[in-house]
A and B are shown apart, each in its own frame.
Chain A
Amino acid sequence: MIEIGVPIIPFFGIDIVSFTIDFVIAYALILAVSLTLNLEAGYAGVPNFGKVLFVAGGAAVAGAVTGRVAVLLLKINTSGDYNNHIAQVINSANLSLGENFPLSIEILLLGVVLGAMIGGILGLVFSVVAGRENLREDYLGMLLLASAQFFQIFLRSYEPFIGGTQGILVPDVFAWASPCPLGQICTSFHGIVLVPSLLALTGLKVRDVAVLLTVVTFCGLVYLYSEGVARSPLGRTLRAIRDDEVASKALGKNDLAVRRNVIIIASAISGMAGALITFYSSSVGPDTWTRVTWTFYPWLVIIIGGAANNLGVGVGAFVFVLLMRGIDQVKFRFSSFIPFDVNWLEYLAFASLLILFLFFRHEGIVPEKPSKTLSESEIAAIMNSRITRRGDSVKGLMFSSYPIEPQTDASKSDKEQASQDEAS
């Protein structure tokens, strides 16, 4: 095996390449989850205080099922007890998966689809419970917060699922991108030869690049989707329901059905994000899924960036991840002379940041713009073009508020006649 000196570009003692890769992955994941929360809380006005439930649901199911499916497909002997032999089982599964690119992708897709299904089902259940007419924001918030807390307790206690408090390993679906194990002669980089090997020559961690591309693609799709929803008639309906429920009901909008659909879609996407998080860390355990990590932080992102505004959420997520990673890089230098765990300070700092934002800039860095409608002159132009096409008279279609001045021949002649009458 050829030894290649890995070029490290230092920047204040930080390896800038791996820092950037980590940063982008974290950014894409938190952005995807925050966008779904923005869809619910920002556009539809459904405050989801149990986001972690849906993300964790997708992650746990993807982690628990894909490993077993992989073991079944690869015919690995588990001696009847999957969870207790997890380390050896997953190790041999990874070796086989590394040489089987199509199967890896299939398992990745399986996990993501499972995550979406579980998220969607959970969303359906909670929207049915919450969709009752007399359930308001406060009831929904309490229900979701309590359920998310119970789900974490459930994950901790139920061992057959994801191994209780310890968590379980998940087969590495990006194993084809990892360089071969040390001490072996690498004639081919597992499975795919060319691209990973070329990238590996530059000193990049190829697995991380593969994860990055997957996650960024996913996040980009989510962004495009939520931007599409925001600009569509559905988005306007959502904002109308959020701003004035009674008025939108009077206009014939079924607010319960629309809100239910939004919760289901957003939860399904959160489940997918959860599955991707599982595959990225190639393990899943209950302690990742706390109220802080996936309920509070997405809310923080939305408040920083600006609700009901996808660009704002993007900015908010950037600021948040920058702060988070910045603190991560710096905090261990303080740990020697602070008599407590530095992580607690992070909680305090982010909590105060959110409250400060609520006080001094509750609309966020990028405030929500009023939805663009056509200007009055444009409306007048459209009205005119219709009128001329149909050849109707203007008086029948007159809206008193629009300054429509049709330039048809008929009206001209009317005016001329009128002026002639006055003159005479």
Chain B
Amino acid sequence: MVKIEIVGVFLAVILFLLISNLSDPNVRSATVYGSLFGLMALGLTLTYITTKVPNFAYGSFVTIGMYTSYAMYRLNYKLLGYTMTPYLSAPISFLIGALVSVTMYLAVLRSLARRGSSLVALMIATLAIDIGFVGIFGIFSDYLFNAYRLNDSKSFPQLFNADFSILGVPGIVFAAPLLLTVLSLGLLVLLTWTKLGVAMRAAVENPKLAQVLGINVELMYMIAWFLAGGFAASSGSYYILSQRGSVDEGSNLIVGIFAASVLGGLASIYGAILGGVIIGASEILITTFLAQTKIQVTTQFLTLPISFSIGGSEVIGYQKGIPLLIMIATLLVFPRGLVSIDPRKVVRLLRRLPPEMQSRVKGIWRLSSRIFVRFFHR
């Protein structure tokens, strides 16, 4: 089973490292990105462990949060001249996202599952819901444009002006890790020390046995979906303070969210938080590392000179490739995710390797630590 302490220590170390070096703007955005991805992956895993269906519409819940906060900020500013920051509207989007999520679960997924639909049919249903959501966001953004003359309603830059700042650092850099910490600690408390949480875990572990014990399994699943939708929407609200938002931004984010969940093992909520933080932080840090260094490779292949270069500023467009690569590597190397790795076994395995392999492993370790050092020990 998951070792919550190990995951917690890892998380604390990563977040501390990120927050300890806030003078670098890339580290700032990596902190925000990592925290929010942790929250999103947590929600996705919550829905996955209850219904066992990968929710393809999950990215749209993030977009719900983005548009709720965006509309509240812009409309309040335009009509009343009052700045409603996304921090204030995040609880509202939490509620909206949570209610939509529960509605989706009750109206579509549970009814389909009761009719005996297969897993693939449920997956198609979530895909269809995602497409429907994109349609709804499009209609909403067109409505904002036509009714209130908001020119950037389809695709808007980050809302700098809605944020506060501490010592010149934007507030979101502190608020996002705080949100992740508060929500995940709250979930930990709920799951370990309350009767409801114990009932939820029982419903997830063995639904039939839980039903025999008088636990309302359907209610527990509904609560899980409620929390999942809320987490996604509130992270969407925070997201637009540091990154741009658009109608299909949630669809693009789904690459990273899935990667984070798979990295965390898909079955463990704490693993998902860890995976999310790692994916989010490495997406930004590795991309900026590659953008700052240009690696030129020149070799000869059958008298044909071949030269190609990795890196340079154009790398930034392929940022989403990094979570995808991590996801593929996870699936190939340890498909059960990070939480399936026993650190003692890894050390033992490394000791048993032949010396040349050991030096290669050391080389990889040195390269990755160089990326690390670049950001943390200037």
Complex interface: chain B residues within 8 A of A145 (CB)? 56, 127, 254, 258
Chain A 328-353 near chain B by CB (<8 Å), digits 1 or 0: 00000000000111011111101110
Closest to B129 in A: A351
A296 x B132 contact (CB < 8 A): no
Complex interface: chain B residues within 8 A of A129 (CB)? 328, 331-332
A129-B331, A351-B128, A355-B129 as given contacts; A137 in contact with B136, CB under 8 Å: no
Instruction: Judge whether B121 is part of the interface by a CB distance below 8 angstroms.
Output: yes
A362 to B132, CA, bound (A): 19
Instruction: Judge whether B123 is part of the interface by a CB distance below 8 angstroms.
Output: yes
B146 x A340 contact (CB < 8 A): yes
Q: Of the candidates A45, A141, A143, A149, which one forms a contact with B320 in the assembled complex, judged by CB atoms under 8 Å apart?
A: A149
A41-B120, A348-B132 as given contacts; A343 in contact with B138, CB under 8 Å: yes
Closest to B248 in A: A290
Instruction: Judge whether A156 is part of the interface by a CB distance below 8 angstroms.
Output: yes
Chain A 133-165 near chain B by CB (<8 Å), digits 1 or 0: 011011101110111011001101110000000
A47-B120, A135-B335, A358-B121 as given contacts; A299 in contact with B54, CB under 8 Å: no
Complex interface: chain B residues within 8 A of A352 (CB)? 128, 132
A132 to B335, CA, bound (A): 9
A134-B335, A354-B124, A355-B108 as given contacts; A348 in contact with B135, CB under 8 Å: yes
Chain B 244-268 near chain A by CB (<8 Å), digits 1 or 0: 0000000110110011011000100
A49-B56, A153-B317, A158-B317 as given contacts; A291 in contact with B251, CB under 8 Å: yes
Instruction: Judge whether A292 is part of the interface by a CB distance below 8 angstroms.
Output: yes
User: Closest Cβ of chain A: how far from B194's Cβ, in Å?
Assistant: 30
For the residues of B in contact with A, the DSSP-based class is: helix
B131 x A149 contact (CB < 8 A): no
Complex interface: chain A residues within 8 A of B125 (CB)? 354-355, 358
User: Closest Cβ of chain B: how far from A381's Cβ, in Å?
Assistant: 38
Closest to A159 in B: B314
Q: Which of B78-86, B111-119, B174-182, B295-303 touches A?
A: B111-119
Contacting B at CB under 8 A, from A264-315, are 291-292, 295-296, 299-300, 303
Complex interface: chain B residues within 8 A of A340 (CB)? 138-139, 142-143, 146
Complex interface: chain A residues within 8 A of B115 (CB)? 359, 362
A141 x B54 contact (CB < 8 A): yes
A358 to B114, CA, bound (A): 12
Interface centre among B52, B121, B128, B323 (most CB of A within 10 A): B128
A359 x B142 contact (CB < 8 A): no
B54 x A358 contact (CB < 8 A): no
Contacting A at CB under 8 A, from B29-61, are 48, 52-54, 56
A150 x B255 contact (CB < 8 A): yes
A348 x B136 contact (CB < 8 A): yes
Instruction: Judge whether B17 is part of the interface by a CB distance below 8 angstroms.
Output: no
A347 x B262 contact (CB < 8 A): no
Q: Of the candidates B139, B266, B318, which one forms a contact with A153 in the assembled complex, judged by CB atoms under 8 Å apart?
A: B318
A154 x B321 contact (CB < 8 A): yes
A25 to B82, CA, bound (A): 54
Complex interface: chain A residues within 8 A of B112 (CB)? 358-359
Complex interface: chain A residues within 8 A of B136 (CB)? 344, 348
Chain B 212-241 near chain A by CB (<8 Å), digits 1 or 0: 000000000000000000000000000000
User: Closest Cβ of chain A: how far from B367's Cβ, in Å?
Assistant: 24
Complex interface: chain B residues within 8 A of A147 (CB)? 324
A350 x B138 contact (CB < 8 A): no
A142 x B262 contact (CB < 8 A): yes
Interface centre among A157, A296, A347 (most CB of B within 10 A): A347
A41 to B120, CA, bound (A): 9
A157-B314, A362-B121 as given contacts; A296 in contact with B111, CB under 8 Å: no
User: Closest Cβ of chain A: how far from B251's Cβ, in Å?
Assistant: 7
B123 x A351 contact (CB < 8 A): no
Complex interface: chain B residues within 8 A of A346 (CB)? 135
Q: Of the candidates B53, B128, B142, B320, which one forms a contact with A296 in the assembled complex, judged by CB atoms under 8 Å apart?
A: B128
Contacting A at CB under 8 A, from B318-366, are 318, 320-321, 323-324, 327-328, 331-332, 335-336
Closest to B323 in A: A146
Interface centre among A134, A156, A340 (most CB of B within 10 A): A340
Chain A 83-116 near chain B by CB (<8 Å), digits 1 or 0: 0000000000000000000000000000000000
Complex interface: chain A residues within 8 A of B120 (CB)? 41, 45, 47, 137
A79 to B249, CA, bound (A): 38
Closest to B121 in A: A358
Complex interface: chain A residues within 8 A of B306 (CB)? none
A358 to B129, CA, bound (A): 12
A312 to B332, CA, bound (A): 37
A112 to B52, CA, bound (A): 39
User: Closest Cβ of chain B: how far from A347's Cβ, in Å?
Assistant: 3
A45 to B118, CA, bound (A): 11
A129 to B333, CA, bound (A): 10
A47 x B123 contact (CB < 8 A): yes
B318 x A139 contact (CB < 8 A): no
Instruction: Judge whether B75 is part of the interface by a CB distance below 8 angstroms.
Output: no
Closest to A345 in B: B135
Instruction: Judge whether B167 is part of the interface by a CB distance below 8 angstroms.
Output: no
B142 x A150 contact (CB < 8 A): no
A292 x B131 contact (CB < 8 A): yes
Complex interface: chain A residues within 8 A of B335 (CB)? 132, 134-135, 139
Instruction: Judge whether B147 is part of the interface by a CB distance below 8 angstroms.
Output: yes
Chain A 217-241 near chain B by CB (<8 Å), digits 1 or 0: 0000000000000000000000000
Q: Of the candidates A154, A291, A358, A362, which one forms a contact with B318 in the assembled complex, judged by CB atoms under 8 Å apart?
A: A154
B123 x A138 contact (CB < 8 A): yes
Task: Give 20 A-B contacts (CB < 8 Å), ordered by A residue.
Answer: A146-B258, A146-B324, A149-B252, A149-B255, A150-B321, A150-B324, A156-B317, A158-B318, A291-B130, A292-B131, A296-B127, A296-B128, A340-B138, A341-B138, A344-B134, A344-B136, A348-B132, A351-B132, A355-B108, A359-B111
- Which A-B residue pairs are the 10 nearest by beta carbons? A157-B317, A347-B135, A340-B142, A351-B132, A344-B138, A348-B135, A354-B128, A351-B128, A146-B255, A344-B135
Apart from the given pairs A291-B251, A300-B128, A341-B139, 15 other A-B contacts in the complex at a CB distance below 8 Å: A132-B335, A135-B335, A138-B54, A139-B262, A145-B258, A146-B259, A156-B317, A158-B317, A291-B127, A296-B128, A344-B134, A351-B128, A355-B128, A358-B112, A358-B121
